[in-house]
Structure 1
Amino acid sequence: MALYGAIEAGGTKFVCAIGDAQLNIIETITIPTTTPEETMVKVQSFFDKYEILTIGIGSFGPIDINKESKTYGFITSTPKTAWKNFDFVGTLKAYYDVPIAFTTDVNASLYGEYKAGIAKNVDSAVYYTIGTGIGGGAMLKGRFVEGLSHPEMGHMNISLHKDDQFEGSCPYHQNCLEGMASGPAIEKRVGTEGKFIQEDDEVWDIIAYYIAQAAFNTTLLLSPELIILGGGVMHQHHLLDKIRDQFVEINNSYINLPPIDQYIAEPSLEDKQGIIGCLALAKEEHK
């Protein structure tokens, strides 16, 4: 049986998996994201048990995806200092002489939904991961939208809510989406994690306003058929309806769109979309 390796590399944990050509997950393991030295030894130990044909990686970033670059395959200017300028692909290549697909973690999640989930029947879609950080990925007809590098949608500037006095948590930009609506931004603003905040707390209206702005900006720029909102913050399921309502208000009937509950949706693969996307990318590396 053909076996493929997958790594969903997040800021807090690595999920590694072995899968088959039908994208079935055969075995998986979760490894804390500590330092490259500690984490990668555990990754290697997991994959050493199998004869794998290829590996697909979806990584936190920023990362270098330009295959002509000297630092292709690197995690670059991440705030996780231990991983800054880490040669992710090169390190794996030293362990395994197999083809390796390398993209962002949010692209991998989008690809999982495109291959096996809610985006299967559309030609264009955008996926946002709203969690420890915020990232966005876009696809058009099966290809990721990329240029000089991958998009950094999580750092788009947003207009401040009239009732929000929070100054933001991003060290680079005062009022970007990540700095105002990520999990750490919510915790810094309120003083506790989102999962402990009541559903009727006004902070959720503020967060919904920021995410709705991002979705509307995305609609203006890319006109996707579907916007998917994933990540830990979106596990507050009451938030989705608030975002949809704010989006409708911001749009003000300007753009004719599908029904809002179809246009802005949650992921459909029970938090496996990232690892399934990595497996799909690994499979496609097998020529």
Structure 2
Amino acid sequence: MSGKQRFAGVELGGTKCIALLVEGNAILDQVSVPTTSPRETLPGVNQHLTRWQAEGGFAALGIASFGPLQLNPARPDFGRMLSTPKYGWSGADVAGTLTEGLTCPWNIDTDVNGAALAEYLWGAGAGCDSLCYITIGTGIGGGLLLHGRPIHGAMHPEIGHIRTRRMPGDTFGGICPFHGDCIEGLISGPALAARFGAPAETVPDTHPTWPDVAADIAELAGTILLTTSAQRILFGGSVSAYRPFLLPMVRTRLVEQLSSYLPFLNAASAEDIIRLPALGTEAGPRGAIALARGALGA
């Protein structure tokens, strides 16, 4: 991130919200607040943004938020949260509250589109024309870039609610309140806790259910390859980061399923296609800054 302009970014996650002020590559200030209710979280973050504006200002603000979001500027609910499983957040005026009193340009997108953009610019997506970023955490989010631009249309990608083929004998019903056994209902953090009967971080790597989880992730990766032809799929979030045995299992199963049909897919190419993000936990905050830069065309 070169240049000496100041930018502000907000990464609104399901459990915490990070706001940062940067100048070039330097972080001048950063705050983290719990994501509780919209009435508590959003005005609290706005106070920090307002202070930064008064203390020297910033050229633009980027907002990378969990979703689903209304991202069509022509809609009256632009910048608001749509129907979400997170209690109390449906209809929350995310952009309106965060930008209240600010005079700079701003940009809003999903947190995963922001993370995908950060990885494309500065991380594991460098050199790719198309990229998908998946985070496995409290929920399942998917960001998709084409020619370096986040995909929008009728809405934004809702990859976490795709239904995938199940492993024979896997009878777990899923926990998504909307779709039951969509991929979020199967492999998100709360879903894994329900599936294992214990928090996932306490479950040993040798547990016999992990291959079913890897199979579900492989089905998701295959669906993405078949529908988007993404050159790279990055799996972020706590599950991917702290269970390093999962992605090799995913690659193996993906090649077994699709290499006879997809000419570009083999054991070697799968290593390059299915990867961890390079930026780690910085992808989200950097994504917010990338969105801020985009508000200026930078």
Once the two structures are superposed, the pairs formed by residues 78-93 of structure 1 within 5 Å of their partners are 78-93=84-99
C-alpha contact 1:11 1:33 (8 A) present in aligned 2: yes
Deviation at 1:26, TM superposition (A): 2.9
Q: How many pairs does the alignment contain?
A: 286
> 2: CA distance between counterparts of 1:266 and 1:132?
18
How high is the TM-score relative to the length of structure 2? 0.92
Partner of 1:11: 14
The letter for the 2-side match of 1:195 is E
C-alpha contact 2:50 2:101 (8 A) present in aligned 1: no
> 1: CA distance between counterparts of 2:275 and 2:102?
38
> 2: CA distance between counterparts of 1:69 and 1:41?
23
> 1: CA distance between counterparts of 2:103 and 2:18?
21
Partner of 2:47: 45
Partner of 1:267: 277
> 1: CA distance between counterparts of 2:245 and 2:284?
23
> 1: CA distance between counterparts of 2:280 and 2:179?
32
Further displaced range: 241-250 or 58-67: 241-250
Partner of 1:108: 114
> 2: CA distance between counterparts of 1:176 and 1:199?
24
The letter for the 2-side match of 1:49 is R
> 1: CA distance between counterparts of 2:230 and 2:175?
29
Once the two structures are superposed, the pairs formed by residues 113-132 of structure 1 within 5 Å of their partners are 113-132=119-138
Partner of 2:257: 250
Partner of 1:34: 36
> 2: CA distance between counterparts of 1:80 and 1:224?
29
Deviation at 1:184, TM superposition (A): 0.7
> 2: CA distance between counterparts of 1:226 and 1:83?
32
Deviation at 1:46, TM superposition (A): 2.4
| C-alpha RMSD of the superposition | 1.4
> 2: CA distance between counterparts of 1:14 and 1:70?
25
Partner of 1:282: 292
Deviation at 1:23, TM superposition (A): 4.7
Deviations 1:38-80 (A, max 9, x none): 1123312322332122110111111000010010000110112
> 2: CA distance between counterparts of 1:151 and 1:105?
12
Deviations 1:54-107 (A, max 9, x none): 110111111000010010000110112321101111112323122111100110
> 1: CA distance between counterparts of 2:31 and 2:246?
30
Deviation at 1:28, TM superposition (A): 1.9
Q: Are residues 1:149 and 2:155 paired?
A: yes
Q: Are residues 1:60 and 2:63 paired?
A: no
How high is the TM-score relative to the length of structure 1? 0.95
The letter for the 2-side match of 1:58 is A
Secondary structure at the residue paired with 2:287? helix
Deviation at 1:246, TM superposition (A): 1.5
Deviations 1:125-161 (A, max 9, x none): 1111111111111111111122101011111111121
> 2: CA distance between counterparts of 1:112 and 1:4?
14
The letter for the 2-side match of 1:132 is T
The letter for the 2-side match of 1:136 is G
Secondary structure at the residue paired with 2:160? helix
Structure 1, unpaired ranges of 5+: none
Structure 2, unpaired ranges of 5+: none
Secondary structure at the residue paired with 2:172? coil
Among all aligned residue pairs of Structure 1 and Structure 2, give the percentage whose two residues are the same amino acid: 35
Deviations 1:194-228 (A, max 9, x none): 11111111221111111110110110111111111
C-alpha contact 2:111 2:287 (8 A) present in aligned 1: no
Secondary structure at the residue paired with 1:244? helix
C-alpha contact 2:6 2:22 (8 A) present in aligned 1: yes
